[in-house]
Amino acid sequence: MAAQSATEEENRPNPGRPRNSEIDELILATARALLAEGGYEAMTFEAIGKQTGIGRPTIYRRWRSKAHLAAAIAYGNHDSPMPVVEGELRAQIAALVEQIANQYSIPEIAAASLGLNSAYYNDEALREELHTPAETNARRQLRAIVAAGKANGTINEAADADILFDLIVGTVIYRTMFSSVAKPEDHTRKLVDHLLRAFAPPPA
């Protein structure tokens, strides 16, 4: 039924009509499944078309390349908030680490991110278009969290928000997606302990 409606939408001569959100969701769901099952290489417009009956022109009208579709899955909404935890620094750092770890443990997000890194390697303009807005927003949010922590005395005045971002994201992504060494069960706790020692205010 979904395939039939997609074909009808594709062939109907009305370029000014609003997008069908059901078709958007069908394309995204199929792309996620392909990424999770076969990785970035398996997620092609042809494969999506075969599984859904949706023609390539319909997909291209929504995402003009495979990288654009993968970015929609990897980054989602650029405005998605980082967790803000009132009180002790440990809880705030733990919440940030957990959010990143959970995100990159999702198979389709991991596969999309790996594929996009390869796509960006020789295309800086594509990186600037797709990745930079998401990273810029995430760093902006963390700077605000760190600034608030400095103001209430829970974060060291010398703390650098961008370094904290790099330490959390870099460590979690490497151990989740690249390392060939098994991640110990207490990895998250130890990471939080190390970050806490680095960013907590010095003893009075």
Residues 56, 82: one domain? no
For residue 116, the domain's CATH number is 1.10.357.10
* Whether residues 176 and 82 fall in one domain: yes
CA-to-CA dists, residue 132 to 68, 78, 106, angstroms: 13, 10, 21
CA 141-62-22 angle, 5° bins: 95
Q: Residue 2: pLDDT above 70? A: no
What is the extent of the structural domain holding 58? 2-64
Q: Is 56 in the same domain as 119?
A: no
Spatial distance between the Cα atoms of 176 and 5, rounded to a whole number of angstroms: 39
Q: Are residues 151 and 50 in the same domain?
A: no
134 lies in the same domain as 47 = no
Q: Report the distance separating Cα 107 and Cα 36, nearest Å.
A: 5
Largest CA-CA distance found in the chain, in angstroms, rounded: 72
| Cα–Cα distance, 116 to 111 (Å, whole number) | 9
Q: Could you tell me the pTM of the whole model?
A: 0.83
**Last residue of a domain, which of 12, 32, 64?**
64
16-50 pLDDT per residue, tens: 445 678 999 999 999 999 999 999 999 999 999 99
Tens digits of per-residue pLDDT, 95-152? Answer: 999 999 999 999 999 999 999 999 999 899 999 999 999 999 999 999 999 999 999 9
Whether 73 is covered by a domain: the verdict is no
Q: Are residues 94 and 179 in the same domain?
A: yes
Task: Say yes or no: 115 and 51 in one domain.
Answer: no
Q: Are residues 93 and 38 in the same domain?
A: no
58 and 95 co-located in one domain: no
Q: How many domains does the chain have?
A: 2
The pLDDT value recorded for residue 57 is 94
